[in-house]
Amino acid sequence: MKKSIFKIANKKFENLIKKYDGFINVVVDDWRGYRFVFDTKDVRKCKNDCKNCRLYQLLKDEKPGIFDAGLYPASAEDKKLFGNQRYLNCKTLEQYKDAYCNFILKKITTKRELADELKLVKGFSIIYSRYGNKKTKEKRVKNFIISKSKTAKTP
């Protein structure tokens, strides 16, 4: 991923963390566009009651741009594949890892698609972790996804 995107993401996140204290881990990736994936206290207790969610209240009016901090609505098919949350980028690290694995194992059909998806996996970054060890966590998640991808059925 481009360094300029990380610069924009870090600046945006610096503003968000001043307004919301529930962040646990925050990922930046380029899946369906540059975005954050939020692992927060609210996400960990999510009951899809968005109107009462502090994270949702913070992000509901985000304007689209080159880097979007807003929430990405999940379709019915997305929910079957990635989990029940109404938004694709409300995921714990564990849910994020599982969502990637589900997509790779259930939707990827060619070696080219697999290579493209693994490029995205290698490009994501954990830009914040409340409890430290960003790089260790990031490496663990990436290695798990890459390992699981080896079982994907591609011609």
Q: What's the rounded Cα separation, in Å, for the pair 62 and 129? A: 22
Instruction: Report how far apart, in Å, the C-alpha atoms of 143 and of each of 76, 147, 149 are.
Output: 29, 6, 10
Bridge partners, 14 (sequence order): none
Question: Over its length of 155 residues, how does the chain's per-residue pLDDT go in tens digits?
Answer: 788 889 999 999 999 999 999 999 999 999 878 999 999 999 999 999 999 999 999 999 887 777 778 898 999 999 999 989 999 999 999 999 999 999 999 999 999 999 999 999 999 999 999 998 999 999 999 999 999 999 888 76
Amino acid at residue number 31: W
Domain residue ranges of the chain, discontinuous segments joined by + = 3-149
Bridge partners, 30 (sequence order): 34
Instruction: Report how far apart, in Å, the C-alpha atoms of 104 and of each of 29, 32, 118 are.
Output: 16, 15, 9
